[in-house]
Chain A
């Protein structure tokens, strides 16, 4: 069973058109919800960590929020350079691992 589900799979926006990306998770006892940005052919770049429902974090045009079931990445007045795949992740469940389980990502394209 998938622990992390992201939607939509792809999103095309016009420059300046705000929107939100969704990340739903099914783990219990959440030990953090992580957002990353990945450019084509590059490694994921860390953006945010959220730990508790109601928490919000911002960076430039991005704001991440967390509820008990999902997280949203809000993009306000995006620019073409915001085009990337956005990944969310939760800590691995069980087995003693402390790595991350990733969703499949939302591929975001911002058109000029």
Chain B
């Protein structure tokens, strides 16, 4: 158990819809990272937050957004969903850089 909690574990929705994925980092970790993993791609970095502030953006689509709340939990919002958005979405946390600790992921299926 990494200590990072993600909900929901599985989500099935239709094209055009909007979903929210939630992540609670390990106790004491200030950084939260979101990654996307699809069958034909490796782990793709989406976005990072540190202590409530956006720190870095990777290959995140404009339809996707995230935020980190004062209690340090984070949410990833995916809107206008397309079939190609089906993937595993992972949240990871760290104190500040170094080793990242990953949650179990949220599997999103867009039909």
A90 CB to closest chain B CB (Å) equals: 12
Complex contacts, B41 vs chain A, CB 8 Å: 104
Nearest Cβ distance between residue B50 and chain A, in whole angstroms? 8
CB distance from A22 to the nearest CB of B (A): 16
B interface residues, tally (CB under 8 Å)? 28
Judging by beta carbons under 8 Å apart, are B33 and A99 in contact?
A: yes
Is A102 interfacial (CB-CB < 8 Å)?
yes
Chain A residue total in the interface (Cβ 8 A): 24
B31 to A98, Cβ gap below 8 A? yes
Contact of B56 with A by CB under 8 A: yes
Chain B interfacial positions (CB closer than 8 Å to A): 2, 4, 31, 33, 41-43, 45, 48, 55-58, 88, 90, 92, 94, 96-105, 107
Residues of B within 8 A of A49 (CB): 98-99
With A43-B2, A46-B99, A99-B48 as given contacts, are A87 and B43 in contact (CB-CB < 8 Å)?
yes
B56 CB → nearest A CB, Å: 3
6 residue pairs of the A-B complex, CB under 8 angstroms, read A46-B99, A87-B43, A97-B45, A98-B48, A99-B92, A105-B42
Question: Are A92 and B45 in touch, CB under 8 angstroms?
Answer: yes
Pick from A41, A46, A104: contact of B42, CB below 8 A: A104
